Amino acid sequence: MKLRSRAAHRYAQALHDLATGEAVLEVVGGDLAGIQVDLAESGDLRRFIGNYQLASVRRLQTLEALFAARVHPLVWRFIRFLESKRRLGVLNEICADFKELEERRQGIIRGHLTSAFALSAADVKAIALQAGKHIRKQLILETEENPELLGGCRLQVGDTVYDFSLAARLRMIRQTMMAG
């Protein structure tokens, strides 16, 4: 999980609450996911969003051309609100936080699985299913290879790390032998 600003989290929570109240969570979430893709794919859009040297009237016209007809009215009002507060630069973080809030509401949690070698999709799914039963949530895993683990894997869910690597076991044996 990447660190994001508290302001982005507060804005995401406020938008999530409004979308819940208006019963448009799915639509708003879809719009924000689309905006996140746009921001990832367009350097020009990222630069524009953070550039407050343009006249505010010109910025608002550009934002209207980009978003007004494409997103739900609640999302469009929210974008205009962020623009009025000069906080549009945290829009990508807000989109990510909103997604995280929605996943949490649905009982989904994300984790990070590091293994010594590439795991098959079936292995990752089996690990996610088993660990998800343990934590009583649906677990979605991001994977990474790290040969320094020597064997086994390391699973991080939130702040908790489960280290089942051979390197960790060797460290424990070494510590036990040195203490004894």
Q: Check if the beta carbon of residue 149 is closer than 8 Å to that of residue 166.
A: yes
- pTM for this entry: 0.72
pLDDT at site 2? 55
Of 62, 79, 104, the last residue of a domain is 104
Asked if the structure places residue 93 within a domain, the reply is yes
- Please count the structural domains in the chain: 2
- What is the C-alpha separation between 104 and 147, in angstroms, rounded? 32
- Positive or negative torsion for Cα 113, 115, 121, 125: negative
What would you report as the CA-atom Rg of the chain, rounded to the nearest whole angstrom?
21
Asked if the structure places residue 37 within a domain, the reply is yes
Of 79, 104, 129, the last residue of a domain is 104
Residues 41 and 127 in one domain: no
Q: Tens digit of pLDDT per residue, the chain (180 long)? A: 455 689 999 999 999 999 999 999 999 999 999 999 999 999 999 999 988 888 989 999 999 999 999 999 999 999 999 999 999 999 999 999 999 999 999 999 999 999 999 999 999 999 999 999 998 999 999 999 999 988 989 999 988 999 989 888 898 899 989 886
How is the beta sheet containing 138-145 ordered, strand by strand?
Answer: 138-145, 108-115, 153-157, 160-163
Of 104, 131, 157, the last residue of a domain is 104
pLDDT at site 1? 45
Asked if the structure places residue 1 within a domain, the reply is no
